[in-house]
Every structure is written in structure tokens, then in C-alpha cells.
A = this chain, B = another copy of it.
């Protein structure tokens, strides 16, 4: 991955490269594993490739590509949401202004596609062609999810049914793409590939639903964000949509993120009292369990299959 980003480290462009390296957690204040994030997407891709009987090392250019695509979207998300902290560090736009941060995100996006072109060396032109189309489609779906996420902020009367297409495009599709890259590079297709893909679909949704829990009840120190951040920003996350649909005391207090910071803890308690936390936890558990069933149906190789199952379980256990 460092090699993929090094493609941007050319004469005269050092400051742009260092912006990218900072965002990736390799440089600057508090650089290190925590600043780098969990690298779930690349791990998932490489493990799937191995679990489907392929040589995981051939997937490295694709693994870097999905991670860079994810990080491109984070850079732009932070500008769009005006988030000043990410993984406990100032965000790129907070340090360099929105104009240069938009551009750094665009550079990261370009590097994702450039990294994928490294598959040329590890696979056939035909496989690369399929992979490149998949990456471009996935990028488009990400922007469609982001469109809904932003549009929802100012929309009233949203229901839980509106939640799923948004998070599917925003989070689920890229998670599925990681797994699809893995099976594509392992050279499997048909029923087994479909089972892996089902696993990824459930896992992606489980992951986002659990993230929604963390966005309200997560430990701010652990998250590197402010407390109750989704309540502060007015995100239409699952617990919030659940309570809005219930139309009780929370719904009457809620005004699209316009709640003063001092009242957020109280608002989170109200949300919990109305059953939103329990409902969201149940949804996350249900989706994780369905993911694990689909994984078993994919008959993965023993060691890498166990690692995939463990990854799915760990994602559902992240600290609240």
C-alpha cells in the first residue's frame, strides 16, 4: 500500500504526497497503527482470495486499491461532514483547508485506480478488465450512497426502510467488492463465488449497523471522535431512524442535529430507553449470524475460512 501511494511522491509534489501519507496514518502527529485504521477491506480481500483457494499475494494490488478507495471517501466525507477529528487526529481539511483536501482525496482516488492496474503483473488482461470495471462501478455506488447520506440530513419523515439502500451503497457495496475481488483472483465462480458474495453482503450491513451503535454509544477516546458524534451531526443512522419512526419523546426532542452539545448525553439515554439501542444491537447480531451462515455455505479453506469468521465476529464486538 505504501508502494501504491509512493507513485504520488514525485519531485515538486512532496507536500501533496505527505498529505496522503498523513491521512493514511504513516506520518505526522500520532502516526502509527491506530492512526492507520483497521485495514478491514484489504484483509477481507486477501483472506477471501486464500479461502477460495487462490494465492493471496496476487491480490495485493487490489487490496491496496480498495483501501485507497475507502480512504479517498473518508477524506471527502470529513470535508462534507465538517468533521475535525478522524482516528484521534485532525482531519486533512482541518489542517490544510477544504480546497487542498478535496484535491488530496482526488489524488487518493486516482491512486486506487492506478494501484489496481498493478494486477496486470499478477493476473490476465481479462481478469484485470473485470476488476477495473468492478472498481469503477463500486466508486460510483459509493457516491450514490454518499448522495443519500447527505440528502437525508435535511429530510423529515424518513423510515427504517430508507436506511438500507443508503448504507448498502455507502458501505455494503465496497465490502462486497473486496470479497468479489478475492474470488475473482482465486479464479472461482458459480455457486461458491455467490456464497462468498452473500457472506460479504451481510457482513457489510452488519459492519455499518455496528458502526451506528459506536456513532452514538461508542467510547470517544477509542473512536477518536467526539462523543455521541452521530447525534451531534444529525446523521440518520439506524437507532435514530428507529426512534423517529416510533415518534415518541426522542422524536419530539430531535431536530436534525440541532441539539446543544450539553444535552447529547441525555438524548442518548432517551434513545436507549425507547429501545433503539437494543433494536440496533439485534439487527447487527442477526446480520453477523447470517454472514457466518453464508460463509459456511461457501466452504472456505480451513485456516483462512476460520480467519474470515473471526474477522466477522470481531467486527461485531468492537467496543461500545
The answer to whether B100 and A114 have CB atoms under 8 Å apart is: no
Which partner residue on chain B sits nearest A79 by CB separation? B102
Known contacts: A144-B8, A147-B16. The answer to whether A109 contacts B139 by CB under 8 A is yes
A139 lies within 8 A of B106 (CB)? yes
Interface membership of chain A positions 111-145, coded 1 if the CB is closer than 8 angstroms to chain B and 0 otherwise: 10110110010001110110011011101101110
Number of copies: 2
Pick from B111, B126, B165: contact of A12, CB below 8 A: B165
Contact A106 B103 (CB under 8 A): no
Contact with B along A1-35 (1 / 0, CB 8 A): 00000011010110110000000000000000000
A16 neighbours in B (Cβ, 8 Å): 143-144, 147
Contact status B114-A133, CB under 8 Å? yes
Give the Cβ gap from A256 to chain B, nearest Cβ, in Å: 15
Q: Determine if A107 is an interface residue (Cβ-Cβ < 8 Å).
A: yes
B15-A147 in contact (CB<8A) = yes
The answer to whether A150 and B106 touch across the interface, beta carbons within 8 angstroms, is no
A148 near B: Cβ within 8 Å?
Answer: yes
Contact A146:B103 (CB < 8 A) given known A111-B140, A125-B126: yes
Query: Judging by beta carbons under 8 Å apart, are A139 and B125 in contact?
Result: no
A150 and B103: CB pair below 8 A?
Answer: yes
Q: Does A251 touch B at the CB level, under 8 Å?
A: no
List A residues 63-108 near B (Cβ within 8 Å): 73, 76, 79-81, 98-100, 102-107
CB–CB B76/A143 < 8 A: no
Given A102-B102, A106-B143, A109-B109, list of 9 further CB < 8 A pairs?
A13-B148, A80-B99, A103-B143, A107-B140, A109-B139, A110-B139, A114-B139, A117-B132, A117-B133
Task: Please report A residues at the B interface, Cβ cutoff 8 Å.
Answer: 7-8, 10, 12-13, 15-16, 73, 76, 79-81, 98-100, 102-107, 109-111, 113-114, 116-117, 120, 124-126, 128-129, 132-133, 135-137, 139-140, 142-144, 146-148, 150-151, 165
Q: Which 5 A-B pairs have the closest CB atoms?
A: A125-B125, A110-B139, A113-B136, A80-B99, A110-B140
Can you list 23 residue pairs at the A/B interface with Cβ under 8 Å?
A10-B144, A12-B144, A12-B148, A13-B144, A13-B147, A15-B147, A80-B98, A81-B99, A98-B98, A100-B147, A103-B143, A103-B147, A103-B150, A106-B139, A107-B140, A107-B143, A107-B144, A110-B139, A110-B143, A113-B135, A117-B133, A117-B136, A125-B129
